[in-house]
Structure 1
Amino acid sequence: MAGSGTWWKEEVVYQIYPRSFKDSNNDGIGDIRGITEKLDYLKELGITMLWICPIYQSPMDDNGYDISDYCALAPEFGTMEDLDELIAEAGRKGIKIILDLVINHTSDEHQWFREALEHPDSGFHDYYIFREGSKPPCNWRSIFGGSVWEKVEGRDEYYFHAFGKKQPDLNWENEKLRRQLYNMVNGWLEKGIAGFRIDAITFIKKDLSFADREPDGVDGLAKCTKGSRNQPGIGAFLKELKQETFDKHGCVTVAEAPGVPYEDLDEFIGPDGYFSMIFDFRYADLDIASGSEWFKRRSWNVRELGGKIMDSQMAVQKYGWSANFIENHDQPRATTKYLKEAQDDPQAVKMLAAMYFFLRGTPFIYQGQELGMVNFERQSPELFNDISSIDQYQRSLEEGLDPDEALRIVNLRSRDNARTPFPWDGSRYGGFSQSRPWLPMTMEYPVIHAEAQSGVQDSVLEFYKSMIQFRQHGPYRDCLIYGSIRPIESSGNVIAYERQKDDVTIWCYYNFSHTGTQERLPDDAAGAVGIWGNDTDAEIRDGMLCLKPFQAILLKQDVPQSGTHS
């Protein structure tokens, strides 16, 4: 068993996008009571923790990541009593709750920012980053497009926003502001949640010189990440945040920390690191030039994917613990992204799931991933809700793409792909709501839905249940949770790795091809048999493992074969 300080290593986390999970009052928007209604589904799936995306009061310009009151809930999601009920009911079922923590920026409708605009001589003005002048202080581009500087109406003054213009960045240099944030964080932890997923946390320190940089687009701007992410001195802020909040509660913290160099991981997730674990986006973004420029597509292959995954695993293993994922609210569906034309093949979907799930770290499942959901295909740019998708479409046109190609690229990468309402059944609007949802369904009458897969032996949903059960309660749980990992040399369409703890070694093979292939086993794997997979038939000849198309198989020495989990 893990020590009390690392209990989160044994969790399986399920991410909920509350607007799109379940609508309990038929207003077209998912809500907290909808989550409570589906706790039995989540319990049966086998997850042990829920990460709920922002439910705080917000004008929803960026779907809740623009918070106007940290201590109140958005009315569309319900009341604080609804949240108390969810925390209590989930707890009775052995399910913990973590919330999003968004402390790089607020909404421009937050009372602090309103006071800053109305009373520029007040202390609230220094809660944000303002600069005087008749033109933008520098040529940095925000993550969502356009300048990071927005002019204050009626004054020769600009405020800084790394993301949307309705998301002004907080000034972390201000100690009074930091104390306000820490009080808020402690208040939520005292409410009974288990911790936080922490949004955009590596943006809280800026290069305060705000010097122009070499333009990297036809708009004459330069991406802001070079001056507003992972800047020198950020460690002092992160250390103080941990000491004043997280350390006092023994909570779990999962940082969205893109751009952290592997050599700095010890500071972030080492024994005295700022966080329990972080997400690494290097393999998630291998299909684009950078996380903020979707329109710059790049080709990739399975060998490159496997290399990025194992580079990440080996780097994190050296210092701490990983948060493993293939989908989230900012990513397209993994089926479409990683499997391409095989996205509708259940065997391929299962193989992909097992490949990431048995990596070293805590696995995260995004809602609908356990059904094998795929991307949508919108026919018009007007059908997108996500502000980043809309910006990417416009930037694509500015960079010379024709409208059809721009729409194709945004369809492939839009954050709306993962934000479509959850399909509970095959009825209109998928049983999510009886009213038209806030965002169009992937399919208005979904073919992929929970009701069609529940209890069906060969379904993707039942495979996920089996997979979670095997990691959490199977005979090799200690090895699969706590064991070390190392890559196994494999052919171009196969990702393979070894998990090892004490005297237990498990060899894991995943064939990403629609054709069979042969892989040479490590010398100590001679005589191994299949113990789990989407097909546990381990055909081994002369030290070669013969993998079937899209086969996922875990091998171990000297154990009787269990049945196939397909």
Structure 2
Amino acid sequence: MKRIWWKEAVGYQIYPKSFKDTNGDGIGDLKGILEKLPYLKELGIDFIWICPFYPSPMKDNGYDVADYYGIDPCFGTMEDMDLLLKKAGELGIRVIIDMVLNHTSDQHAWFQEALKDPNSEYRDYYMFVQSKERPSNTRSCFGGSVWEKAGEDCWYYHTFDKSQPDLNWESQKLREELYNVLNYWMEKGVSGFRFDAITYIKKVNSLMSHEPDNTDGLISVETTGQNQEGIREFLQEMNHKCLRDPEIMTVAEAPGVPYENLSEFIGEDGYFSMVFDFSYADIDLLPGSNWYNQAPWTFGDLKKLLFRSQCSVQTQGWGAIYLENHDQSRSFNKYFREKAATRDDLHLRFLQGSALATLLMGLRGTVFVYQGEELGSENGKFNSIEEYDDLNTKDQYRRALCAGYDEAQSLKFVNDRSRDNSRMPFPWTAEANGGFTSGMPWLKCNDDYAAICAKKQEQDKDSLLHYYRNLIRIRKDEANRESLIYGEVREIQNALESVIAFERIAENGEKIQIWINMSDETQQADIAEGEILCNNYSETSQKSLNPYQAVMVRCR
């Protein structure tokens, strides 16, 4: 297998608005990332993925881009970005950035010109349709129709919020504009891109009406608008014109791609280095996009999804491994549900957090740690819908009310799933607002910040933060690299339902076993003899696992 830096790397996703504020305005900034580079270096991070920092009205927290070539003043200046790239490079940390190419903000100059003049060259940059009625019954990801009025008998298309008009990839001129954007940032010194919502760029089925999937008479764009026929030509062209250098790392948010087609996306001549797979991350939801349709699931179900993903990806290319990101709730609450550690039970929080960390670092693919995950961050407690910032959360709350749930039930649904859970400010210290800001934070801080803050965990050699640091060292160790990075994943079939057990097998036959008890009860195991690489308990038995025990062993 071809060796390259991004396969061996551990990445760290930064949501800049919530990472570190240096000027007291309550919003994290680029200087805050720069200030905390030593922390990331000590953690063992090889690259950071920074969520959007471009000029934006912030209707969707930066995923509504108003200028691809600038820096929003709330985050700093282009000089700050240049310095961040320089200092990160000096520490051996590469930078990849979010690229939102499915849509822009309605405040982007292109869209403003298109609205102003129907004969403008920019009119063809977006999806405008002349029609007396809505052109189709497609529902946007954030609720309501994908079609918004733009004058008499004229509509424009938006996969997400109405303030995020979709770009028209059928326009060659538009595509060339976007390729110029990619080349600009590569010349700046970024090492790659995370492509947001990239499988929505081809519109075929979503431009036509279909059988509704709900009482609103609409059908979800997630059903009709993902990975449509003809998208491959667009992605191949972008790859050939901008992304042929194998040193450039690309990771795609690519919902809707079936496993049997993965090789087109991540194979030897694929469009991207890797893609995110959402199958196991969305285990808690029934098919569809309503958060109130919560799915019952078991650890057996989780294992099936996890190993199906791993085995499918490893035969076709390379994967991106994650448990958390800016669009998900915290993994503690998702995977341990009502048994997730309480704020005051720090020992249980360590055990559960280290179990998840061992799983993350043991799987095959490029590892992504989301900010605060290494501290054991959990979901926050929001007392009313007014405390939320996220557009999607507010829409899901309305959907639950319309479905007949009362306010308390609807709030519980969004508390469980809201993206704001992972967007709460990072807890650096036990000081006010977790040391994130000297001002008023843009979003409330989690009330557990003093208990789990980075400063406290840095001083405690038995903390979850130190466990993460050690796991990253183990993963990168020359003695383990061929197994833990490049080795095949093979599930250990006789493990009990609540035990996730698998082997990483190198080409030369060397094996590392990973055993993780996801339950609060002691479970039987059959751990191989060998060198214990990590263990979140002080003792190990080959025949049993304590509650939430995680063991990694290099087999003899």
Identify the TM-score tier after normalising by the shorter chain: over 0.9
Tell me, yes or no, if structure 1 residue 271 matches structure 2 residue 268: yes
What letter corresponds to residue 533 of structure 2 in structure 1? I
CA contact (8 A) 1:218 1:399 kept: no
Q: Secondary structure at the match of 2:97?
A: strand
Q: Secondary structure at the match of 2:292?
A: strand
CA contact (8 A) 1:428 1:444 kept: no
State the Cα deviation string for residues 212-243 of structure 1 (Å, max 9, x = none): 11212222211012321110111000000001
Tell me, yes or no, if structure 1 residue 471 matches structure 2 residue 475: yes
Q: Residue 516 of structure 2 is aligned with which of 510, 519, 529?
A: 510
Q: Residue 39 of structure 1 is aligned with which of 26, 37, 40?
A: 37
Give the ranges of 4+ consecutive aligned residues of structure 1 lying more than 6 Å apart after TM superposition: none
Calculate percent identity across the aligned residue pairs. Answer: 49
Tell me the distance in 2 between the aligned counterparts of 1:447 and 1:557: 37
Please show how residues 177-326 of structure 1 align to structure 2 within 5 Å. Answer: 177-207=174-204, 210-248=207-245, 250-290=247-287, 292-326=289-323
Q: Post-superposition shift, 1:477?
A: 2.1
Q: Secondary structure at the match of 1:70?
A: coil
Structure 2, unmatched stretches of 5+, are 343-347
State the Cα deviation string for residues 296-352 of structure 1 (Å, max 9, x = none): 111111111111010000000010111000000000010111122133421111011
The alignment covers a number of residue pairs equal to 547
Q: Post-superposition shift, 1:455?
A: 3.0
Q: Secondary structure at the match of 1:293?
A: coil
What is residue 561 of structure 1 aligned with on the other side? none
Tell me the distance in 1 between the aligned counterparts of 2:533 and 2:17: 39
Tell me, yes or no, if structure 1 residue 396 matches structure 2 residue 400: yes
CA contact (8 A) 2:206 2:225 kept: no
What is residue 345 of structure 2 aligned with on the other side? none
CA contact (8 A) 1:530 1:536 kept: no
Q: Secondary structure at the match of 2:479?
A: coil
Q: Secondary structure at the match of 1:231?
A: coil
CA contact (8 A) 2:54 2:65 kept: yes
What is residue 459 of structure 2 aligned with on the other side? 455
What is residue 357 of structure 1 aligned with on the other side? 361
Q: Residue 339 of structure 1 is aligned with which of 332, 336, 353?
A: 336
CA contact (8 A) 2:513 2:555 kept: no
In structure 2, the CA distance between the partners of 1:309 and 1:120, relative to structure 1 (3 Å rule), is: same
Q: Post-superposition shift, 1:384?
A: 0.6
Tell me the distance in 2 between the aligned counterparts of 1:293 and 1:103: 25
Q: Secondary structure at the match of 1:499?
A: strand
What is residue 496 of structure 1 aligned with on the other side? 501
Tell me the distance in 2 between the aligned counterparts of 1:467 and 1:538: 17
Q: Secondary structure at the match of 1:168?
A: coil
What letter corresponds to residue 38 of structure 1 in structure 2? K
Tell me the distance in 1 between the aligned counterparts of 2:31 and 2:533: 40
What is residue 158 of structure 1 aligned with on the other side? 155
Tell me the distance in 2 between the aligned counterparts of 1:291 and 1:485: 30
CA contact (8 A) 1:536 1:554 kept: no
What is residue 71 of structure 1 aligned with on the other side? 69
Q: Secondary structure at the match of 2:282?
A: coil
Q: Secondary structure at the match of 2:451?
A: coil
Moved more, 444-453 or 140-149: 444-453
Q: Post-superposition shift, 1:536?
A: 6.7
What is residue 564 of structure 1 aligned with on the other side? none
Q: Secondary structure at the match of 1:74?
A: coil
Tell me the distance in 1 between the aligned counterparts of 2:371 and 2:386: 25
Please show how residues 60-209 of structure 1 align to structure 2 within 5 Å. Answer: 60-152=58-150, 154-207=151-204
Tell me the distance in 2 between the aligned counterparts of 1:85 and 1:270: 35
What letter corresponds to residue 425 of structure 2 in structure 1? P
Tell me the distance in 2 between the aligned counterparts of 1:102 and 1:242: 16
Tell me the distance in 1 between the aligned counterparts of 2:351 and 2:450: 20
Moved more, 497-506 or 157-166: 497-506
Q: Secondary structure at the match of 2:303?
A: helix
What is residue 408 of structure 1 aligned with on the other side? 412
Q: Secondary structure at the match of 2:452?
A: coil
Q: Post-superposition shift, 1:114?
A: 0.6
CA contact (8 A) 2:71 2:78 kept: yes
Q: Secondary structure at the match of 1:69?
A: coil
CA contact (8 A) 1:2 1:9 kept: no
What is residue 487 of structure 1 aligned with on the other side? 491
What is residue 534 of structure 1 aligned with on the other side? 536
Q: Secondary structure at the match of 2:207?
A: coil
State the Cα deviation string for residues 172-229 of structure 1 (Å, max 9, x = none): 0000100010011111011111000110000000116722112122222110123211
In structure 2, the CA distance between the partners of 1:272 and 1:511, relative to structure 1 (3 Å rule), is: same
Q: Secondary structure at the match of 1:364?
A: strand
State the Cα deviation string for residues 462-498 of structure 1 (Å, max 9, x = none): 1001111111125212211111111111111101111
State the Cα deviation string for residues 30-69 of structure 1 (Å, max 9, x = none): 0000000001111111111000000011110000000000
Q: Post-superposition shift, 1:507?
A: 1.3
What is residue 438 of structure 1 aligned with on the other side? 442
What is residue 22 of structure 1 aligned with on the other side? 20
Tell me the distance in 1 between the aligned counterparts of 2:487 and 2:422: 31
Tell me the distance in 2 between the aligned counterparts of 1:529 and 1:518: 20
Tell me the distance in 2 between the aligned counterparts of 1:103 and 1:164: 15
Using structure 2 for the length normalisation, give the TM-score: 0.96
Q: Residue 328 of structure 1 is aligned with which of 303, 314, 325?
A: 325
In structure 2, the CA distance between the partners of 1:546 and 1:237, relative to structure 1 (3 Å rule), is: same
In structure 2, the CA distance between the partners of 1:242 and 1:356, relative to structure 1 (3 Å rule), is: same
What letter corresponds to residue 296 of structure 1 in structure 2? N
Q: Post-superposition shift, 1:135?
A: 2.1
Moved more, 471-480 or 546-555: 471-480
CA contact (8 A) 2:149 2:156 kept: yes
State the Cα deviation string for residues 413-466 of structure 1 (Å, max 9, x = none): 000000000010111111000111011111286322111111312111110011
CA contact (8 A) 1:197 1:253 kept: yes
Q: Post-superposition shift, 1:123?
A: 1.6
Q: Post-superposition shift, 1:249?
A: 7.1
Q: Post-superposition shift, 1:358?
A: 1.1
What letter corresponds to residue 534 of structure 2 in structure 1? W
What letter corresponds to residue 390 of structure 1 in structure 2? K
In structure 2, the CA distance between the partners of 1:160 and 1:116, relative to structure 1 (3 Å rule), is: same
Tell me the distance in 1 between the aligned counterparts of 2:357 and 2:321: 11
Q: Post-superposition shift, 1:555?
A: 2.1
Q: Post-superposition shift, 1:161?
A: 0.2
CA contact (8 A) 2:141 2:220 kept: yes
Tell me the distance in 2 between the aligned counterparts of 1:423 and 1:356: 22
